Structure 1
Amino acid sequence: MGRPAPLRAGGPGSPWAYLLIAPAVAGMLYLLLYPLARAVLISFQDFRLRQLILGDAEFVGLHNYETLLSDPRFWEVVRRTFAFMAVNVVAIMFLSTLVALMTERLGKVGRTAVLSSLVLVWAVPVVAATTVFQWLFHSEFGIVNEALTGLGFSSFEGYPWFAHGGAAFAIVVLLVVWQSVPFAAITLYSALTTVPVELYESARMDGAGGVRIFRSVTFPLMRPIFMLVLSLEVIWTFKAFVQIWVMTRGGPGDATTILPVYAVQTALAQQRYDLGSAASMLTVLLMSAVLVLYIRQLFRQEGESP
């Protein structure tokens, strides 16, 4: 007698498959789509503290968006957000590429040490890393001021980094770059390991130097990974909030206020939850527009390449 066939709940199209994943899908949709839908709804309402308590919000159409778009401070924050994003993304991609290339050329021990260090940095919680940077640049007890003073720069004794807009902006950029480079570097290094060694050898035999090899061999083969990492870093830096909120809360003045911080400031400090939701929706739209333009340009370049 033959062995009995195993019991099966059904093939890929079986209702059982959908029933089994339905709870997970429903939970995901609730956690992701409901807050988004709620924020969109509030952005079209007059929703302040009174409406939050009584629940009698009224629809006002596009009034909240008109208020934001006519506010000069909003456009100043938009410009600062794009500047913040551009500085961070350029620094992250440049440094992570250098780290990935360096790691590829190290021996086994050195490579293990570098990758382990990157993973440890990547694993540090955002709030913990932000707190460490606050202490590093503390005006009285910070290591940075102590080191600069010890090197003979007496003007940095007790220097209040977070009281100056440019200095605070630079520290936030440094923190975001420090947190972002590990992920980008590890991803790029993983892609580098897939490039055939024979191509490098052929390029060197033809007399190509390191820069020419990277431009003609490495980058073309790794372009999809470069583009993916770049897109993720654009999203990461565009929505950077925790670092700025914990470190400076957007100050001094508006020196470190970008769109996510502006939205929270508007919602909490002014109790204008409607304007805060509208600012959040505009942030999503601007970030999506940047990514769409970037992806279209990428596809255009791919279509033009031989």
Structure 2
Amino acid sequence: MTTLTEAPETPAARETPARRRRRVDRLPYLLLLPCLVIIGGLLLWPLGQVVAMSFYRLNNVRQLRGDREWPWVGLGNYTQILGDPFFLTVLRNTVLFAVANVVLTMILGTLVGLLLNRLGRKMATFVASCVMLAWATPALTGTIVWKWIFDDTSGLVTWLFNALPDGLSQGLFGRSDWTGYGWFNSPLLFFSILTLVVVWHSFPFIAVSVLAGLKSVPSELHEAARVDGAGPWRVFWRITFPLLRPVFGILIVLSTIWDFKVFTQQFVLAGGTQDRPTFMLSIYSYAEAFSPPPKYGLGAAIAVILTLILLVVTGLYVRMVLKQEDES
């Protein structure tokens, strides 16, 4: 007669359901750990270095290399920046520019997204491809092209204004010869052109994101609203916008961050850091840090202030969006 012997119990079999559940819960964090380490090395470490530099007086490269001691000034750099009346001018320029660009970018991007959603597949693909060319163009390359368009001698805009009848041009603008006219000399004109460049480069991302959100909205809702006699604006405001509110919230936050940090376009259009009346926080930080004599500590302090402003603005807006979601 043969007898059956029980197989030895393995450690996996002795594992309790609670322990197995905890082990499974830790697995996503373990898988994310390499990515978090890389992000920490590429983002958090440089950010920490900038914050540390903002508490020292750094005036030469030897200090950055460690050849000389870093003189500790504590909050002296922040006190100097916040006590400078010019900082208020720079902050005003930054806030007004960011608000104008976010509003214009969101409006234009949303309109283009709605247009793409109504076009046929072939035409929508063609228009989307043309629109995405602006997004795919590097900021430096696109800004150089725009600077040539507004060149005071051979630019396209100068040529178009010179092509106007002399009487019409004189009556409307007070001059008939536009050759040599400095399009970037006036702060108002400079910011207008800079806004044009930034919106041109930013709206395709908004348009494609809105289009992706529109594809998730059931078409039956729009058809039912049209049957009830609702016009396009009412359909958008009562149906489309509430359903895409999370998408618009993310896009507004991203646009705010990008527009507060505009640097390349302004640096190229202004030809450097000489035009101080048009300074914004990003180029102000660069000018203080690298213009002779260099003041790396002051530049780092301005960068930290800009980061804090973005964190506060983004946090307040995200909190407002989450509160609206909870109420709805």
TM-score by length of 1: 0.89
Q: Does 1:111 align with 2:124?
A: yes
1:66-85 aligned at under 5 Å gives the runs: 66-85=79-98
Cα distance, 1:13 vs. partner?
8.1
Q: Which deviations, in whole Å up to 9, do the C-alpha atoms of 1:169-200 show, x marking residues without a partner?
A: 11111100000001110000111111111101
Sort the Cα spacing of 1:48 and 1:61 in 2 relative to 1 into closer, same or farther, 3 A.
same
- Residue-pair matches, total: 293
Secondary structure of residue in 2 paired with 1:77: helix
Sort the Cα spacing of 1:135 and 1:232 in 2 relative to 1 into closer, same or farther, 3 A.
same
Q: Does 1:281 align with 2:304?
A: yes
Q: Does 1:223 align with 2:245?
A: yes
Q: Does 1:264 align with 2:286?
A: yes
Q: Which runs of 5+ in 1 are unaligned?
A: 1-10
Alignment match, 1:94: 107
Q: Does 1:137 align with 2:159?
A: no
Which residue identity does 2:322 align to in structure 1?
Answer: F
Q: Does 1:180 align with 2:191?
A: no
Cα distance, 1:156 vs. partner?
3.0
Alignment match, 2:20: none
Could you tell me whether the CA contact under 8 Å between 2:267 and 2:273 is conserved in 1?
no
Could you tell me whether the CA contact under 8 Å between 1:145 and 1:157 is conserved in 2?
yes
Sort the Cα spacing of 1:285 and 1:208 in 2 relative to 1 into closer, same or farther, 3 A.
same
Q: Which moved more, 1:135-144 or 1:294-303?
A: 294-303
Q: Using the alignment, how far apart are the partners of 1:30 and 1:255 within structure 2? A: 37
Q: 1:52 aligns with which of 64, 82, 88?
A: 64
Sort the Cα spacing of 1:93 and 1:21 in 2 relative to 1 into closer, same or farther, 3 A.
closer
Q: Which deviations, in whole Å up to 9, do the C-alpha atoms of 1:89-135 show, x marking residues without a partner?
A: 00000000110111111122220111111222211111100110110
Alignment match, 1:195: 217
Could you tell me whether the CA contact under 8 Å between 2:213 and 2:244 is conserved in 1?
yes
Sort the Cα spacing of 1:12 and 1:247 in 2 relative to 1 into closer, same or farther, 3 A.
farther
Which residue identity does 2:143 align to in structure 1?
Answer: T
Structure of greater Rg: 2
Q: Which runs of 5+ in 2 are unaligned?
A: 1-22, 170-175
Q: Which deviations, in whole Å up to 9, do the C-alpha atoms of 1:142-181 show, x marking residues without a partner?
A: 0111012213332533321112211111111110000000
Q: Using the alignment, how far apart are the partners of 2:184 and 2:93 within structure 1? A: 17
Q: 1:28 aligns with which of 18, 21, 39?
A: 39
TM-score by length of 2: 0.84
The alignment yields a C-alpha RMSD, in angstroms, of 2.1
User: Quick one: percent identity of the two aligned structures?
Assistant: 39
Q: Using the alignment, how far apart are the partners of 1:109 and 1:116 within structure 2? A: 11
Could you tell me whether the CA contact under 8 Å between 1:259 and 1:279 is conserved in 2?
yes
Alignment match, 2:258: 236
